Amino acid sequence: MLKKIICTVAMGFMCVHLTGCVAVLGAAAGGAGTATWLGGKLSQQVDASYEKTQKAARSSLVALKLTITRETVKDDVAQFVGDYTDGRSFWVDIRPVSLTASRVDVRVGVPGDQDASRKILDKIVASL
């Protein structure tokens, strides 16, 4: 009996876990398609190089009159951290996917404001 309960719980966990992975893979396959809201952040793959996406993000944040308090650029990730217009923190992470594609993750506040994140992401995508 205990073995059946453990197996049922494990199978349920695996189904939930796999469903989440399918959603992420579907979003990644969409290229410049629709952004996905997962775990309090908005994510979208864009058809632009890592360097071009970094420049677009920086100029978009400045255009939105957002204060960048920390900018970190490495080979595998660029991160912009700062203060949103209402004082909450924002984070923009950019990761290279290929030579011509990047993934942009945006979060405003904790646990995450989807509308505010969408405003930043839309500005970045429009700047590309």
Note the pLDDT of residue 29: 40
Of 112 and 79, the structure prediction assigns the larger pLDDT to 79
Note the pLDDT of residue 28: 40
Q: Residue 82 pLDDT more than 60?
A: yes
Residues 60 and 84 in one domain: yes
Residues 48 and 87 in one domain: yes
Percentage of the chain lying above the pLDDT 90 cut: 64
Residues 14 and 77 in one domain: no
Helix (H) or strand (E) holding 105, with range, is strand 101-108
At residue 97, φ and ψ (nearest 5 deg) are -105, -40
Tens of pLDDT, residue by residue over 14-62, are: 554 555 444 444 434 434 567 887 788 999 999 999 999 999 999 999 9
Residues 44 and 63 in one domain: yes
Q: Residue 67 pLDDT more than 90?
A: yes
Q: Where does residue 118 rank: exposed (0-12), middle (13-18), buried (19+ CB within 10 A)?
A: middle
Residues 49 and 84 in one domain: yes
Residues 18 and 42 in one domain: no
Residues 3 and 65 in one domain: no
Domain range enclosing 22: 1-30
pTM, rounded to two decimals: 0.72
b/e code 86-105 from CB counts within 10 Å (16+ = b): eeeebbbbbbbbeeebbbbb
Residues 92 and 116 in one domain: yes
Nearest to 98 by CA among 41, 34, 28: 28
CATH, residue 58:
3.30.310.80
Residues 18 and 62 in one domain: no
Note the pLDDT of residue 27: 39
Note the pLDDT of residue 79: 98
How large is the average pLDDT for residues 56-75? Answer: 96
Domain total of the chain? 2
Strands, sheet with 101-108, edge to edge from the N-terminal-most edge strand:
36-38, 41-46, 101-108, 89-98, 78-83, 67-73
Amino acid occupying residue 27: A
How large is the average pLDDT for residues 52-78? Answer: 96
